[in-house]
Amino acid sequence: MKHRLITSIALVILLPGAALQTYAQPPSPQFQKIYGLIKEKNFFKAREIYNTDSAQLSIPYRCFADAVLQNAFNKPAASDKKIDVLIAGKYALPDSLRLKLFRIKEDNAIKQYDYATAYTTLNTVLADFKNQLTQEEMKDMQNSLKIWNALKDQPKQTITINGYNELKMHKDKAGLKNLQITTSKDTLPFIFDTGANISTITESTAKRMEMIIIPAAIEVSTITGNTVKANLAVCKKFRLGNIDIENAVFLVLKDKELSFPQISYQIHGILGYPVIEALKEVQLTIDDYLIIPLKETAMTGNSNLAIDGLTPLIYIDDMNFTFDTGADHTILYAAFYRQNKTRIDKAYKLTKVSLGGAGGHTVLPGFKISHSFTINGKNVTINDISLLKDNISNEAGHGNIGQDVIKQFGKMTINFDQMFIKLD
């Protein structure tokens, strides 16, 4: 989403026993820099500047930046408190920033499984900020409204962890890691995928497991840029090891959308971010075990994990990447190419890069490169990385970190409470 940053606003302050007064209050250079980084989804660098310079921001801008960053670092309740202060009417913010606040409020509701609030908040956006939205944004929001309308009367997801869990993950023929999911009707392998911002299931599997299917006719974008139609399902209860998950939401796709006939491969389902985040901490070992500890790991150093909507971001070498336990290979995006254009153009020839996923595959212009990452003081070199020359839909940051980087370490700890990723 693009936002228009106004160079000056009217700051309205209401003091007890005083008349309402309006002051010209332009945003400071510090705020402009912070907000520029936020729009680039570099929440890590934005937080760094905010922590240093927040005292130099006026109250509404400080509150705004804090609300955005609390959301990005997975503190939705704290973010809501800041938003409520700003939208209560005491401060006059430009419409572009008020629109951003309402979108964050919607996202906070989603992260707290409060679908009714997500629905009413998005309705407010469509009613009050229509002139601020492009046709594409309107279409996207109306599509999202279908989701929250379908779910607004559903109960919140809950998770009960009944003891220590150490679960063996099994690789399928596509090399993706699967866990056994059990309902009262069946047990089937589901892919464990931090890169999926919603859990997903095939229509036949949802019926087989007797989930509640909710017709919604949602348009879902695929990695190829195409769209497919989907419905929703609510699983009243399933079991993962010693963990009970209730009222989890799944996107329901036609079986063919998760089928790869060229290798006779069918995906049954995918466990995505809303379920994984609720576990608070997961540990993935090189020998394919998933561990959910009873006691969280203590964080050392700075938090290096953020969330863009429902997509996790990791901070490496002053760049932000999505990371995806369901992806076999790392891929780099156009932002990485622009930042390293001179070196890339000199060392590599333009070629074709193939992308595949739910909904099919596509071929795009790009490069095959070698690149070294510095992670936890270790130099990790990956060869034959796909680098895209141009932007694609739904990309975030400089690329997506896959298993070819992760498997260089013995264990990866992902903590969604303290917001860090630790690779040992």
pLDDT tens digit sequence for 269-318:
999 999 999 999 999 999 999 999 999 999 888 899 999 998 899 999 99
- pTM here is 0.86
Helices (H) and strands (E) in the chain, counts: 12, 28
- The residues spanned by each domain of the chain are 10-150, 158-292, 305-423
CB 313 within 8 A of CB 396: yes
Q: What is the pLDDT of residue 98?
A: 92
The second-level CATH assignment, the architecture, of 10-150 is Alpha Horseshoe (1.25)
Q: Which two tokens stand for residue 38?
A: 């936020």
Span 79-105, pLDDT tens digits = 999 999 998 866 778 889 999 999 999
| pLDDT score, position 196 | 87
pLDDT attached to residue 20? 32
CB contact set of 203 (below 8 Å; sequence gap of 6+): 213, 231, 252, 253, 254, 255
Percent of the chain with pLDDT over 90: 71
Q: Distance of CA 102 to CAs 80, 111, 125, 129, 173, Å? A: 10, 14, 7, 10, 43
Measured CA to CA, the distance from residue 250 to residue 232 in angstroms comes to 6
Q: Which residue has the tokens 């680098």?
A: 387
Task: State how far the Cα of 366 lies from the Cα of 334, in Å rounded to an integer.
Answer: 9
- Look up residue 23 and give its two tokens: 């002051």
Measure the CA–CA gap between 268 and 170, rounded to whole angstroms. Answer: 14
Whether pLDDT at 24 is above 70: no
In the predicted model, what is the mean pLDDT of residues 44-57? Answer: 94
Q: Are strands 177-182 and 170-171 parallel, antiparallel or unpaired?
A: antiparallel
Q: Which helix (H) or strand (E) holds 118?
A: helix 115-128
Question: Which of 126-135, 217-226, 398-407 shows the lowest per-residue confidence on average (mean pLDDT)?
Answer: 217-226
Q: Do domains 10-150 and 158-292 have the same CATH topology?
A: no
Predicted local distance difference test score (pLDDT) of residue 301:
81
Instruction: Determine whether 266 is exposed, middle or buried from the number of CB atoms within 10 Å of its CB (0-12, 13-18, 19+).
Output: middle
Span 229-269, pLDDT tens digits: 999 999 999 999 999 999 999 999 999 999 888 889 999 99
pLDDT surpasses 50 at 189? yes
The answer to whether domain 305-423 has CATH 1.10.3470.10 is no
Beta strands in 162-285 (DSSP E): 165-168, 170-171, 177-182, 187-192, 199-202, 212-221, 227-235, 238-240, 243-246, 248-253, 259-260, 265-266, 269-271, 281-285
State the SS3 of 204-229.
HHHHHCCCEEEEEEEEEECCCCCEEE
Q: What is the pLDDT of residue 362?
A: 79
Query: Which tokens belong to 402?
Result: 């896959």
DSSP H helices, 293-388, are 334-339, 341-347
Does the domain at residues 158-292 carry the CATH identifier 1.10.10.970? no
